[in-house]
Structure 1
Amino acid sequence: MCGIAGIVSSNPNIIHRSLLQQMADALAHRGPDGEGFFINESNTAGLAHRRLAIIDLSAEAAQPMHYLKRYSITYSGEIYNYIELRQSLKQAGYHFYTKSDTEVILAAYDMYKEKCVYYLDGMFAFGIWDEREKQFFAARDRFGEKPFYYYREDELFAFASEMKGLWAMGIPKETDDRMMLNYLTLGHVQNPANKSQTFFSNISSLLPAHYLRLNAVTNKMSLHSYWDLDKQTVAGLTDEQVMKEFDILLTDSIAKKMRSDVAVGASLSGGLDSSSIVKKLLPLLPDAGGAGSFKTFSAVFPGFEKNEAGYIEAVLQDCKVQNYQVTPTWEGMLQDFEKLCYHQEEPFSSSSVYAQYKVFELASKHQVKVMIDGQGADEILAGYHKYLHWYIQELISRNKFSQARKEASLFKKHHMPLQWGLPNVLATFLPSHVSIALEEKELWQVVNHPDVSKDLLAVMKGREWNGIHKPVVTKLNDMLYFNTMEFGLEELLRYCDRNSMAH
């Protein structure tokens, strides 16, 4: 949602409109509904914006937006609780001249400064220039749904939604050999030990749930974490209480995500996550048209063992929503591969990225601008079969042997593959040792890979461990945290963002 870019520099000779235009042009696919630019009087801050209009389609809501003759913002994303937040800010004395969520961020920043991020429920990446303090503030949402890349060198700080916005201003493409080595040998597309690292050595990613402050006078920059998942606290609720609370939270989340001044649709894969969302949003649809006018989009694979068309059909029979389907093919992927790589910018490890690309392409053809899906459900709810053995290990490590046997029996009954052997027994009682052993195994894979040149390994001498990290898992939550916050979910969100913005 939208493309943002900008430059902050203590050198007034660096920033000029044509440079910002080049950055914005490189991000035009992210915002086909308009563009805007801002350069302050001292020529130390410049912002660019490509607009994808979702909330408040008027010209008054265009960006960069200015507030109180002091703040200027370029922002990508959507703040789902903007209506509630705007109301509380009104009660505090703030006035609003648009119906946009952008203006709400500006007012929240004036009131709370960097603590404004605590009040934002949404997906976002934004940069705010404070003319009075000569400071730049940028923040990214909790899980990293919206991207924010930056380049820093001496008196120059530049940022953009995608790296191509930075390349457009002349920043060179310098491949990070360590990241490439780990991708070729381990399939990693992120460094779990340093998620700010990208495949380009001179470009960093602002971490999810982080903000940065930059003083344009001193060039001093600081990075701060503002949120983290609590994997330790046990709520102490009954199963019924958990289900009731989860239902309330899910319904409220879907209702807020349905707020839009343009058409909203949904992905429907046939899985529990997207199917649940489609079912839950039915009561939220307007009376005019109702379910019969709501559009869903699916990828199907006739003849493929894991084709979920049957599950999709079951949901359609129950919910009576519209459904449009696409069948991705290897011929199509070959034809679209260069375009797919252009939008993704960094390597990807699965052809499923292309299936999602085609689903979003289909939605665009049917004039649907906003798509709701269930990304992240498997990571926070242990939806993958790979999590089964970690759950059993947790039970055994806590001497809950009878419950472990019962759960394992139920897994078998429901044809859920539980991998269990000596390594799992060792991991149960010696988790730290197993973590180290797994790291050593990955290192061996890297340095002994038959297809990697000795020259590349020589470049890596002394840095062989860089990017190799395995968590110490003593309970299921340890692994869910790792995949949600450190290694896994952000990768999927990157694919989703680029695929959705490509069309």
Structure 2
Amino acid sequence: MRERAKRAAIGIITHIIRCGGHIEPQRRTNLGRHFVCGIFGLVAKTGSVDARRVDQLTDLVAHRGPDGRGVRVKGNVGLGHRRLAIIDLTDDGAQPMRDRRFPVWITYNGEIYNYLELRSELASLGYAFFTASDTEVLLAAYICWGTKCLERLNGMWSFAIHDERDNTLFCARDRFGVKPFYYVDTVTEFAFGSEIRQLLPLIERPVAEDDLVNDFLVCGLTDHTNRTFFKGIEKLPPGHWMRVDITTGKAAIERYYSLAPCRLAVDEESSAELLRELLDDAVRLRLRSDVRVGTCLSGGLDSSSVATLAARRYAQGSNERFFAITAVSEQASNNEEAYAAEVAEKSELNWLRTKPGYEDFASTAEALLDVQEEPFAGPSIMMQHEVMKSARSNGVIVLLDGQGGDETLLGYHRYYAAWLLDHFRRGGLRGFLSAFRAATQAGVSSWRLLMYLFGASSARLRGAYYRWRYAFLKNPGLPEPLRRFARATKDAQGMQVLEITETNLPMLLRFEDKNSMRFGIETRLPFLDYRFVEFALALPTHVKLNKGWAKWPLRMAMNDLLPSRISWRTDKIGFAAPDQLWLTRHSAAMYDRVITSELLTRYVDMQILKRKFHRLDLGMRWRLYCVALWGERFQVQAP
């Protein structure tokens, strides 16, 4: 086993070096020009593009790029760009950018973290560079390698390249969909943008996607499909590229990346060591900036790990303390302030706190719908919103975050079902009972274990529960992804792939992007460095969930750096809002909006709902309220 682990370690380290992991130490200098921004593009299928229209629709996302703008229109193609400057704050590298040798233009939103390595490689192949921007490197990589350039990138991106040589528009989105890419394809136009609001003027009228509204009302599921809640507005899937023929307007989409399930033969000790090295390197790459950098700090294992590693790295190149921002809940049962305080003290962080109250929530709920553009399953999203707001007001323009740690390392209790079944297959009833006991000793309740083992694994039982509980819904059917989830509960790796690609992570990434970019904040996610994701996914289930402890390798990897009550915490909260306090107090206001919603009458029996509303669980009351607000804000009509 040791020899196999050693071979795996050598392979992983070689992979890190080859993919641009280990490069020069972090220094706060002008390493290059990076722009996380808002983009827009329009292709007219008949006639020419109206430049004023491109101007207007580009500027609808001015909040995403408050530091500059650019528009380029030629014939039937228009490209727009709003700039948020992160590295080198000069005007060099403005977009849309043209290659110096070829008539190829790009509008780009993202960060290519390994652009220095790519720049060196391209220079050795004869490419000359005239700016220090990663945009120019990306453009050169496309010219050199075509669609294969995407396989070489380590970062987050959403871009479109107008290649006048063959009159095509080449568009691509990063592997996991950190950066958004919305598009519409009508009889007369093809258009794309960073936000839905840019595309609404291009459709005849806002019409709800029936099945997505139903899925949301049943269980709060969102972002599990390439369609949006608005009929006719879609998303380029993560890990895909699209090519649009400018002459005909026809678009073709192709996948370039997928999470291929595999297994690593690596022991517990080696897995923790390699995991820390990968995470530390992912953090280091994401600290490059010429503006103030900080991190979100909830006090949980993931955010505390990122904050601790980042503070150590940041101290090597800066005289100021690393910033960390915590959203504090009014509700004692989900207040993590004490945990965050321990991390802040141990890592000597410049710790900021924000503590929104009910009045803040009540006055912000409708604005949050405008920010998110689509319904969302609970008010906890406001806590993240307030963190971003606090960051901007304190001059912190880049924030690291722990998003993705749970999906990559079996951090949710629902993964225990597959783990218990694995013990049953390998050790029979005795093995199962031993694992069950270990899980309860690690803080997981017996009831929760049984719920996921028997309830979540049965689509029929879960569907019957929803039909009974929400009889006022006209179509309380179980969403298809949850049927697949039920089948996947017996396979931890299969569940991970499903959650990363469909049922969980896409939703969280949408929340993160919209909340951060509303305040002109760039968020960077070390746990979603693709090297880390691939390594974590390939670890054996019994290593990731070991002795009843979820995320065992991360706990071991950070054990010497984090306070022990952080690294071995048994509960999970995150930036949770005091839902019980806020929604109970807000229930009358929610009722008023719900019963007067024209849109909701398509999905609910309003007479039954009026009688039952105040007896419904708070989650359902919120979902009904959220759909009502969404319908009002965007004047959404039923099909």
The answer, yes or no, to whether TM exceeds 0.5 is yes
| Letter matched to residue 337 of structure 2 | A
Give how far 1:25 is off: 1.7
Structure-1 residue corresponding to 2:484: 470
Distance (whole Å) between structure 1 residues aligned to residue 482 and residue 227 of structure 2 = 13
Cα distance in 1 for residues equivalent to 2:425 and 2:103: 57
1:59 aligns with 2:88: no
Residues 1:267 and 2:283 aligned together:
no
Q: Secondary structure at the match of 1:394?
A: helix
| Equivalent pair of 1:443/1:465 in contact (CA under 8 Å) | no
Give 1:481's aligned residue. 497
Secondary structure (helix, strand or coil) at the match of 2:353 reads: strand
Q: Matched residue of 1:283: which SS?
A: helix
Decide whether the 8 Å contact of 2:330 with 2:357 is kept in 1: no
Instruction: Provide the rounded CA distance (Å) in 2 between the counterparts of 1:170 and 1:22.
Output: 16
In 2, the alpha carbon distance for the partners of 1:50 and 1:340 equals 22
| Aligned match for 1:29, one of 44, 48, 63 | 63
Deviates more, 1:259-268 or 1:383-392: 383-392
CA distance in 1, matches of 2:482, 2:44: 35
Change (3 A) 1:69 1:385: same
Aligned to 2:365: 337
Contact 2:180–2:195 (8 Å) recurs in 1: yes
Mapped to 2, the partners of 1:422 and 1:355 lie a distance apart of 29
Aligned to 2:517: 501
Structure 2 partner of 1:137: 170
DSSP-derived class of the 1:242 partner: helix
Equivalent residue for 2:128, pick from 78, 95, 118: 95
Percentage of pairs with the same residue:
34
**Pairing 1:445–2:474 present:** no
> Matches of residues 72-471 of structure 1 in structure 2 within 5 Å?
72-169=105-202, 172-191=205-224, 195-231=225-261, 233-287=262-316, 289-290=318-319, 292-399=320-427, 401-418=429-446, 419-421=448-450, 424=453, 434-435=458-459, 437=460, 441-442=462-463, 445=466, 449-452=470-473, 469-471=483-485
Task: Name the counterpart of 2:37.
Answer: 2
Q: CA–CA distance in 2 between the matches of 1:500 and 1:222?
A: 31
Q: Give 1:320 shift.
A: 0.7
Please state which structure has a larger fraction of its residues in helix: 2
CA contact (8 A) 1:298 1:324 kept: yes
Cα gap change, 1:423 to 1:248, in 2 (>3 Å)? closer
Determine the C-alpha separation between the residues in 2 that align with 1:165 and 1:327.
33
CA offsets 1:48-88 (integer angstroms, 9 cap, x no match): 01111113322121111111331111111111111111111
- 1:48 equivalent among 70, 80, 86: 80
Does the Cα contact within 8 Å between 1:395 and 1:403 map onto a contact in 2? yes
2:559 matched to which residue of 1? none
- 1:173-207 C-alpha deviation (Å, 9 max, x unpaired): 2211221122122222234xxx2111011100111
Q: Which runs of 5+ in 2 are unaligned?
A: 1-35, 520-639
Contact 1:178 1:466 in 2 (8 A): no
8 Å Cα contact 1:393/1:425 also seen in 2: no
Kindly tell me: are residues 184 and 391 of structure 1, through their superposed partners in 2, closer, same or farther at Cα, counting changes over 3 Å?
same
For 1:48, give the aligned amino acid. G
CA contact (8 A) 2:241 2:253 kept: yes
The residue type paired with residue 22 of structure 1 is: Q
- The AA in structure 2 aligned to 1:29 is H
**Contact kept? 1:395, 1:404, Cα under 8 Å:** yes
1:491 paired with 2:517, answer no
Confirm or deny: 8 A CA contact 2:45 2:187 kept in the other structure: no
SS of equivalent to 1:470: helix
Q: Alpha-carbon deviations, 1:186-229, whole Å to 9, x = none?
A: 222234xxx21110111001111111111112332111111111
Instruction: Report if the CA contact (8 A) 2:481-2:503 is conserved.
Output: no
Write the distance in 2 (CA, Å) between the matches of 1:279 and 1:221: 45
Offset at 1:492?
A: 0.2
**Which SS does the other structure have where 2:265 is aligned?**
coil
Counterpart residue identity of residue 21, structure 1: D
Distance 2:53 2:298 in 1: 42
- Offset from partner CA, 1:120-176 (integer Å, 9 cap, x none): 111111111001100011111111111000000124210000010112456532211
Contact 1:70–1:132 under 8 Å retained in 2: yes
Q: 2 CA distance for matches of 1:53 and 1:220?
A: 34
Q: Deviations over 1:333-382 (max 9, x none)?
A: 11111211111000000211110000010000001111001101011111
Q: Does the 8 A contact of 1:150 with 1:206 survive in 2?
A: yes
Query: Matched residue of 2:396: which SS?
Result: coil
Find the residue that maps to 1:61 and give its secondary structure. Answer: coil
| Number of residue equivalences | 480
Given the superposition, is the C-alpha separation of residues 4 and 447 from structure 1 closer, same or farther in structure 2, using an over 3 Å criterion? farther
Please say if residues 221 and 503 of structure 2, whose CA atoms lie closer than 8 Å, have aligned partners that are also in contact: no
Alpha-carbon distance change, 451 to 147 in structure 1, aligned in 2, over 3 angstroms: same
Q: Provide structure 1 residue ranges, at least 5 long, that are not aligned to the other structure.
A: none
Q: Distance in 2 between matches of 1:171 and 1:259?
A: 43
Once the two structures are overlaid, the 10-residue window that deviates more, 127-136 or 397-406, is 397-406
- Matched to 2:162, the amino acid is W
| Distance in 2, Cα, partners of 1:289 & 1:421 | 50
**Aligned-partner Cα distance in 1 for 2:315–2:129:** 27
Please tell me the residue identity of whatever aligns with 1:450. Answer: A
CA RMSD of aligned residues (A): 2.3
The 1:402–1:442 alpha-carbon spacing in structure 2 relative to 1, beyond 3 Å, is same
Is the CA contact 2:215–2:478 (under 8 Å) kept in the aligned structure 1?
A: no
Q: Which amino acid aligns with 2:323?
A: K
For residue 484 of structure 1, give the secondary structure of its aligned residue in structure 2: helix
- Higher RCO, 1 vs 2 (CA within 8 Å, ≥6 residues apart): 2
C-alpha separation in 1, matches of 2:207 and 2:336:
41
DSSP 3-state at the match of 1:360: helix
Distance of aligned partners of 1:367 and 1:171 in 2 relative to their CA distance in 1, 3 Å threshold: farther
Distance in 2 between residues matched to 1:421 and 1:175, nearest whole Å: 37
